[in-house]
Each structure stands twice: as structure tokens, then as C-alpha cells.
Amino acid sequence: MNGQGSPDLTVDDFFKLSFGLIPIELDPTEFVTNEFTKELFVSLIEPSLKEQNPTGIFRNLFPYLVDIISRTIPIARLVNYVQEINGNNDFDDVYQIFQRFEEFCTSRDFLIAFLDKVPTNSLSKIINTLVAANIPIPIYLSNDTHSQKGLKVLNELRDIIVARKYHLFISVNQANIDYLKTPFTKQLYKTYSNNREDYSGICNPNSIDISFHAASENHSRPPLAISEIYYDEPSSSTLSDTVKILTKFAFYIVIHVSNKDFDGNELNDQFISTINDISIECYGGHKRKILILFWKIKPQSFNKHKEKIEKLLHEKFTNNELWIELVINNKKNSLFEKIKKDSFHKLKDTENPWIDWNSISFSKILGDSNKNFLSENDFELSIAEFGQFICRADIFYASYCENVIEKLRDKKHLETPEDSQNYKAEGNRDIRNFQKKQKNIEETRPISVLMYFANVIKKNDIKYMREFARQADVYFKDHLISLAKKDDEIKNKTVESDQSNIRRKEIKQQIEELDITIHDFWREFVILSKIIRNDGSSVLKKLYDIDDKQLEKAYSVWIREGEPIQILEGASLRTLNSDFLSSVLSRIMSNSKRQLIVLSIIGPESSGKSTLLNCLFQCGFSTSAGRCTKGAYMSYRHTFYKEKELDVLIIDSEGMGSTAAKYILRRTDFDKKMTFFGLMCSQILIVNTKGLTRETSDTLEVSSHHLDALNIRDSNKPRICFVLRDMKDAKIAQRPAFLDIRENLKKMFDETPGYDMNDFIIVEEQDVHLLENAFACSFDDFYPQSMITDGENFHYPANYSILH
């Protein structure tokens, strides 16, 4: 593919023809139900192609592209369909358009055009999905109006960058790099960079792409960001400004050189300009490694050219480690292994700089887009002003009182006629005492971090809400990671004793207390809004100047923008205030003609329930290794199915059989309640397990405790879908798995006299879905081959490709 553009297809033409010039509206709660086939592709682009001067040919594909990106299905499918149409000459009158697309454009180009049209409120979620799928984020920084496309993406990357201390590896490419058809980092790190394309597209010149790779599981390697920079003639000043900023934070920079960078024996102006773009300053005063690689230069010319490069570098970079090498084809593998080893030790063994957004000044290139946003330090400052806290009740005192009151009421429900009057009176007295404590909150001073949240609520803007959520996550997760490390140290470095066990128990309690998210702030405000003062106003209004309508409106915005809400707490299984939630959902689901579908998922802990729902419906449920979901979360979605518009409530639940220490004694009761909740409120219940194992039987056994309850359901019997993960030969095993599940269910019902399975639930063969293992295991790609047997070099899951 030709990356330099041509009169046949300019960059302007490409953006105009592909997705058009007008912004695209995207409802973040909408999902599609049809598969993105070639036939659907043709039907969606046909209306645009019939216009006299087609523009925005792919605009109607937008929700389907969001869907396939969320499901990590190759976006290259769009390019493949273009090639098929071009090959078959399906559209005679617009054949030339598709011919130009095929000749000049890659998946990366279409991804740039797609990201440009993603609404700002949805962009961060899309970018996070790309990052999770190990896809390089393209940043297009040409020197014309199109540079805003890259700046928009660059601004959104702050959420990714500040979440972890990413260490940056940069590869710098000159214009006309025909000697590097395969990007250098893809040659060096075949797994990490396998999603970088081999061909240069129309948007390659004056662009950057950057991929993000989480820290190794045992923390033997810090988080890593890998970037390719592509220059053009002439280079873009916007690109140059960005390169100056990024190179300041790099621990390793590779610059590629060829004969084209010399005029005779002298370095040309373009190359000197590139060197001048590299920041002299290195963040934190650390020494970077700058590696110059000569490509396709004859050995006899190498020494002369090397002298020129050395002189230029020594004059400019006085505090950096410099290394110059000639790439010789038959020795390339050994050289690359040498580079991997050197970069690995540079990353691991020294205090290298990381990308610190707080120290980056993008104001020059981002302009107004980076102003009037929450300061990165705002959350920390509000916590610092509040002072040190020991437990969550120090911040969320209304929630604490509410939980105690509910527990006391639960005890009252368990009272028997044999209980003494004193015992009953004591329970009533305790309830009144905590109700009084809760009401007396109005006499206290506002808490600084809650005042900060109140200011976010008053803005009623999703970007501020998401920024608050991110800052809270970063702040508390840093503390959780620190505590987890302390626990590991005690576990690994001390002999087990009563003292060490007590200390570990204290640390785990601290972890539970500090496992705080934005949902805790929402819940506190909802409870405060329901505590009414003598004058009829709420405590929330008195302390934080927010009334019920403001809170409901802000919560509606949060839900409408596709964010999940916590409806059941994990520790107490307390629900969010039903009157408040009902009022908010009534605002959102105002069309009574739409059918409401509730879809829930249950299954063992860490079986991928949240990941599955995110993949299917872009819910945004939290995912990570180990237990992540606590209680139950809900996400609102809507869709069109068989010409009917549906409202869908998707419920994600905490895993059954959780290994969390504080839950062990009550797991069976907890699992029964969660299963009961799913069965009673859902039209569709997904049972998600890892294969056809004991876990499946355990889940079915827990479900059998609620056969009586199914009799009193007002609506139709629920449809049960089984998702069996990590199966081998899924197609062959489909029928046997269905028969096995059906037989187990039948036995379960037969053991209870008077119950017939067909009267209660629907289970058909099409409702049993077998998924093969979604992950391929690979060695950590940043390790050199010489360390491949090292005990620290573990396997990690490699994600599906989107671009390929």
C-alpha cells in the first residue's frame, strides 16, 4: 500500500468519503443484535452510494463497528469487505472509490477516521477497549485541520496514562521508510506489537501510535508503553511538539537511519530536524538510552556516517547513553536479541522515568481542550484536607448507620415469642439510637471529599463524573496494591505464627475498608437525600447544597451514558434506595410501549461473567484478576430486535463460592440469595461456568433451593442460557453438553415431588453455548530469549487481535 497519498485519494477525500465531515451521534446505551456480515455491510452503505456525490459511506456502520471493537472482532473485516466488493465489482458506478480505498488505506486508517467520529463522551470507553485488546492507539497529527483528530485522542489517553506508571519505549521513523515495511517494534516484540500493520497507509505520515501493556503478573516488569513515530516531509509542527513531550519521558529511544538521511556525506535537514525534536531534558534526571540503527548502508560507508551521527548526538545529548549499530541482514536476529536484552535491563534495573501526566504540559498543542477540567490532584487534596481515615465509616457515615439499622431490623424479623421483652426493647432502642446518629449528621461539618463530589454532581457532566471515578480508583487502588504487597511480604518472608496471622488479618480488613469506588459516593448521597430535617429539607441539601432532583438528574446522566450502578452491596446485600432508583429509571425508561427485558448472570467467582457482559453489551463492568464484582451491578441498555424497541436491564452478580475470607462462613446462604435474585427478576438468566465441571453442578444445586419461588413469579418462566467456558472442540461437544445439563436439571426437579422442569424454566439446545479458551499463552515478550527459562519469565494471556 502506498502511504504517501496521491491525487487519486487525498487525506481530505479519505475522511470525507469514509465517515463524512458531520459528527455522528451515538447512544452509549444502544447495542446491535445483528451480526456484521457482508450482506449487512452492503445494505448499510448502499443508500450513501446512490447519492450523486457520495460522502460518509460508512456512517451507517458506526454502531456495528462499536460492537465488533467491543467484542474484539477484527476491524479488518471492514477492509476485507471493501476488497471483496472491489474484486467482484459489485458497484459499477462507484468502483473507483473502493479501488482507491483498497490501494491506499489500511485498517489503521479506518480506525483513525472512526475514532474521529466517536462522540467525546464515548471515546474513553472505546480507547480503553482497544488498550485491553492490545491494539496500538493511532494519533494523527498532520499540520492542518486534521491534527485535531489526533489531539482529541491524545487528550483522552490521559485516563490510560495516569492509571499506571507506564515506561515508554519509542521507535522513530523518518519519511519514506521503505526499508522498514514491518515496524521495528513488531520485529523486536512479535507478541506485544503483532497488531501493528506491515503496510503504510494514507494516515501514516505525521502520526504516532502507542500501545499499552500492563505490568507483569509478579511485578518483575513495570507497565510498558511502546510507540512508533512516523515523520513526513515536511514534518508537522504539531507532531514535533508532541514528540518533544513524549521523548522527555522515554527510557529507550530507537532512531532509524538510511542513506536517504544524508546528502552526500552530510546529514540532511530533515534528519537534523528530527533529532532536534527529541527532548534534551529527561524526566527525573535519569539517563535514557538512545540507539541509532543504520539500515541498508554499505559497511564501507558506515564509519563515515557514524562519525557524523556521533558528533551531532554528543553535542546535543550530554547526559544520555548512546549506542550506534549497523543492521546486517544475516546478523539481524542476534542484534535484535542484544537490543532486547539491553532494553530489558534498562527498564528493570534502573529507576527509569515513566509517563507522568502531571508533569506534561500539553496546553500548547491541546489548547482549550485541556482546560477547565478536574485537576489530577483534586481528589488527593480533598482527602488530605479531610485527614487520615481508618475506615470507610469516617467518610460514609450515613451508609454505615443505614447498614447497622438494617442489620438490627433483620434481627427483629428473627425474633420469636420466647424472646424476652427486654431483648426486644433493646433492639428497638438500638435502632432509634442509630437513626438519631444518622439524623445528627446535619450538625456535622461537610466532609471535603464529599464536597468535591458534590461539585462534580452540580456540573451534571459525564466527563467530570468519569474523571472523579477514575481519580478515586487510582487513589484507593494505589493503597490496595501497597497493602497487598505488605500481605505478600508477610506471607513469603515470615514463618506462620499467631502474630503474623493477626497482622495479615488486619491488612485484609484494611483492604476491605479501602476498596472504595464512585458507587460508595453515590450511595452515601442517596441515603443523605432521604434523611429529612425538621424544616422538610434533606441533610444532603443542608450539607452539600444538592436537592433530590439534582441528584436524580445526575444519576440519570451517569446511567444514560452507559455507566453501571451498584444495586446490591457486597458485604450486606443492602439495596440502593428503591424509591430513588425507581424515580431515576422512570426518567430513563419513559416510553411505556417498550418491552422491558431483565438479563442476569450467575456463576462461580472469576469465571469471566463481567467480561462476557462487557463483550456483548459494552456495559463497563469492572474486570480484573480475582474477585472484582461485589454484590450486584446493573447497566441499562436498549436495542431493536425484530423491529421491536426493547429496554434491557443487565445485571452482573458477585461470583458464587467466593474465596474472600470474610465471606466463607456465609457463602451458601449468600449464593442462594444471589441465585434467587437472578431467577426472580430475570426473563433471561445466564449460568456461566468454566467448562462442564463440578462448578456447573454446584450452581444447579444452589438454584434448586428456589423452585417454590418460581411458582409465584408474575411474569413468564425464565429462559436459562448456559455458557461453558474453556471447552475443547466446542462444536463437537455442543450436543453432549446440552444433554448432560438437561439430565442434571431433570434429576434436580424429579427429586422434588410435584415439580416438572418444563413448568418452571426453558432450556433448549440453542441456549447452551460452548466457548473455547479465549487466550493463547505466550512468554512475556519483553524478556530476551536468553532469559526464557528464568523463573520470573511467566506466561500471560495474549488478547485477540482487532486489526488482524
Residues 549, 607 contacting (CB under 8 angstroms): no
Q: Computed over its alpha carbons, how large is the radius of gyration of the chain?
A: 29
Omega within 30 of 0 (cis) for the link into 54: no
What is the pTM (predicted TM-score) of this model? 0.85
> Cell digits for 692?
462442564
Q: Is the dihedral of CA 119, 120, 122, 127 positive or negative?
A: positive
pLDDT tens readout for residues 727-779 = 776 677 778 887 887 777 777 777 767 677 777 777 788 888 887 765 545 56
Taking 90 as the threshold, does the pLDDT of residue 202 lie above it?
yes
pLDDT digits (tens, 9 = 90+) for 160-197: 787 778 999 999 998 877 778 899 999 999 888 888 98
Degrees (nearest 5) of the Cα angle 416, 422, 423? 45
How many Cβ atoms from other residues are within 10 Å of residue 391's Cβ? 13
CA distance 320 to 431: 67
Measured CA to CA, the distance from residue 602 to residue 777 in angstroms comes to 27
Check whether 546 has a pLDDT greater than 60. yes
Measured at the CA of 765, the angle between CA 763 and CA 770, to 5 degrees, comes to 105
Check residue 492 and give its pLDDT.
80
Tens-place pLDDT, residues 707-720:
566 666 656 778 88
Tell me what pLDDT residue 90 has. Answer: 59
pLDDT at 342: 93
Strand partners, 779: 795
**Residue bearing cell 502474630:** 499
Q: Which three cell numbers stand for residue 695?
A: 462448578
Print the SS3 string covering 473-523. HHHHHHHHHHHHHHHHHHHHHCCCCHHHHHHHHHHHHHHHHHCCCHHHHHH
User: Which pLDDT score, from 0 to 100, does residue 352 have?
Assistant: 64
Identify each DSSP E strand in 670-718 by its residue range. 684-689
Which of 300-304, 551-555, 622-626 shows the highest mean pLDDT? 551-555
Q: What domains can be seen in the chain, in order of their start residue? A: 1-133 (no CATH), 135-370 (3.40.50.300), 373-563 (no CATH), 564-773 (3.40.50.300)
Q: What is the mean pLDDT of the chain?
A: 83
pLDDT at 800 over 60: no
CB atoms within 10 A of CB 180: 21
- Mean predicted confidence (pLDDT) in 98-109: 90
Q: What angle do CA 739, 742, 744 make, to 5 degrees?
A: 110
Residue 433 grid cell: 439510637
Q: Is it the case that residue 69 has pLDDT exceeding 80?
A: yes
| Inter-residue contact 184 to 253 (CB < 8 Å) | no
* CA 559 – CA 538 distance, rounded (Å): 23
Show the beta-strand stretches assigned E in 270-418: 289-294, 321-326
Instruction: Tell me the C-alpha to C-alpha distance, in Å, between residue 382 and each of 63, 447, 464, 487, 740.
Output: 39, 9, 16, 28, 56
Which cell numbers hold the place of 785?
530469549
CA distance 202 to 189: 25
Query: Which tops the pLDDT comparison, 425 or 664?
Result: 425
